[in-house]
Amino acid sequence: MRTIVVSAVNIRKGGTLTILKNCLEYLSDFAQREDYRIVALVHRKDLAYYPGIEYIEMPDTIKSWGRRLWCEYITMYKISKSLSPVYLWFSLHDTTPRVIAERQAVYCQTSFPFLNWKLKDLAFDYKIVLFALLTRFAYRINIKRNKFLIVQAEWLRKGFSDMFGLPESKFIVAPPKMQNVNAKQGKDKRYNNNKLHTFLFAATPDCHKNFELICLAAQQLEKELGENKFKVTLTINGTENKYARWLYKKWGDVKSLDFAGFMSKENLYSTYENTDCLLFPSRIETWGLPISEFAQLGKPMLLADLPYAHETAAGSKNVAFFNVNKPDELKEQMKRLILNDRTFLSKVPERNIAEPVSYSWKELIDHLIKKNQ
């Protein structure tokens, strides 16, 4: 019987928890069909519990970076010795632990090593800057021990390959599975000048999301066109953290901005259907999920001119890109849409992802454990 270890000790919420659940759900079924022992190192097993999996709970590792590093390079080494022989050690949280295993793989989930942080990021949330710097360091440790590295996008494969001097063939691209928005297909219509033109930016109140670019563009556009010509809905309410409070204090009086607050999936999808155009100015993303979701409606999207947005929007119609440091550029694009000018929009070319690529957990696990790989 072969042993597969999945280490995910710092995963507790959000998209990373979804990945952990999907991984263990598949391995739970896999272990019952094949002659494999599955061991999961987790923060708490109730976060992602599935039958047929042995759990080792490690709740203290998230208390500090020191504890995390000790866990990665001391504790996990001891665990790997006690579980020996380990056929595959699969780390789901970016870092490559020091372990004894026939083969290792790491899921590189965060794109923060590529964040071009600014001084204001330090003022609003210094942890984001520290995280960007620490992940560059943490990724580098032991990274060449991995037989494979898993990323969600082609741009990350190329970026990490260049950053760490690894061949692109070692990176498996595993694009996220898209959820059907279940909203009506947007019609390619010309907008009525008397109709309030609606824009949306759906994001968490983190400073790298670049809300201020939209706020500046909306403020300038309102001065040019007047009030009641357009509305920009933001999924923050201005109270969530220091950054959100600054945004609301500075631009809360702009009539065309709607600080609507957090939306459930159901409310967000309904808002998509009633929105004319998606805005997405984030300075860094692994994969821009709202872009994938909104693209299903065929409506216009104004997106950051960055690699993640180009890849996420591949194949989408009615798209334009803007410089994330130039609010005037975004303002002009919004203005043209409001005035019924869509000539600047175009289709984003389709992309064929080079092998190795996996579109399901079955494909990914098969690739990781294949004997001749």
64-81 confidence digits (pLDDT tens): 777 887 888 899 999 999
Q: Is 285 helix (H, G, I), strand (E, B) or coil?
A: coil
Amino acid 215: pLDDT: 96
Q: Is the pLDDT of residue 188 over 70?
A: no
* Token digits of residue 215: 């706020």
* Confidence band of 193 (pLDDT split at 50, 70, 90): very low
**pLDDT (mean) for 194-214:** 90
Amino acid 333: pLDDT: 97
Residue 20 forms beta bridges with which residues? none
Lowest mean pLDDT among 30-44, 51-65, 136-150, 174-188: 174-188
Residue 202 contacts residue 220 (beta carbons within 8 Å): no
Q: Tokens 């260049």: give the residue.
A: 162
CA distances from 171 to 10, 104, 267, 351 (A): 23, 13, 36, 17
CA distances from 78 to 6, 117, 215 (A): 15, 37, 51
What are the pLDDT digits (tens) for 130-147? 777 777 777 778 888 999
How many other CB atoms are there within 10 angstroms of residue 36's CB atom? 18
How many other CB atoms are there within 10 angstroms of residue 220's CB atom? 18
Most confident of 109-113, 194-198, 362-366: 362-366
Q: What is the average pLDDT value for the chain, to the nearest integer?
A: 88
Q: Is the pLDDT of residue 269 over 60?
A: yes
- Report the alpha-carbon distance of residue 83 to residue 279 in Å, rounded: 49
- Torsion, Cα 110 112 114 116, to 10 degrees, reads 160
Q: Is the pLDDT of residue 240 over 60?
A: yes
Task: Quote the distance between the C-alpha of residue 211 and its chain's center.
Answer: 17
Residue 324 contacts residue 210 (beta carbons within 8 Å): yes
Polymer length in residues for the chain: 373
Domains detected in the chain: 2-175+354-369 (3.40.50.2000), 197-338 (3.40.50.2000)
Lowest mean pLDDT among 88-97, 112-121, 317-326, 330-339: 112-121
DSSP string, 31-82: HHHTTEEEEEEES-GGGS--TTEEEEE-GGGGG-HHHHHHIIIIIHHHHHHH
**Single pTM value for the model:** 0.83
Q: Tokens 């289709």: give the residue.
A: 347
Amino acid 73: pLDDT: 85
What are the pLDDT digits (tens) for 274-321? 999 999 999 988 888 899 999 999 999 999 999 999 999 999 999 999
- Report the alpha-carbon distance of residue 316 to residue 55 in Å, rounded: 42
Q: Is the pLDDT of residue 190 over 60?
A: no
Residue 246, amino acid: W
Residue 53 forms beta bridges with which residues? 38
Instruction: Measure the N-to-C terminal CA separation of the chain; round to a whole number of Å.
Output: 19
How many other CB atoms are there within 10 angstroms of residue 183's CB atom? 17
Amino acid 113: pLDDT: 81
Amino acid 182: pLDDT: 66
Residue 307, amino acid: P
Q: Is the pLDDT of residue 35 over 90?
A: no
Query: Does 89 or 177 have the greater pLDDT score?
Result: 89
* Token digits of residue 346: 């175009």
What angle separates helix 242-251 from helix 211-225, to the nearest 10 degrees?
10
* Token digits of residue 5: 């270890």
The proportion of the chain whose per-residue pLDDT surpasses 70, expressed as a percent, equals 96
* Confidence band of 183 (pLDDT split at 50, 70, 90): low
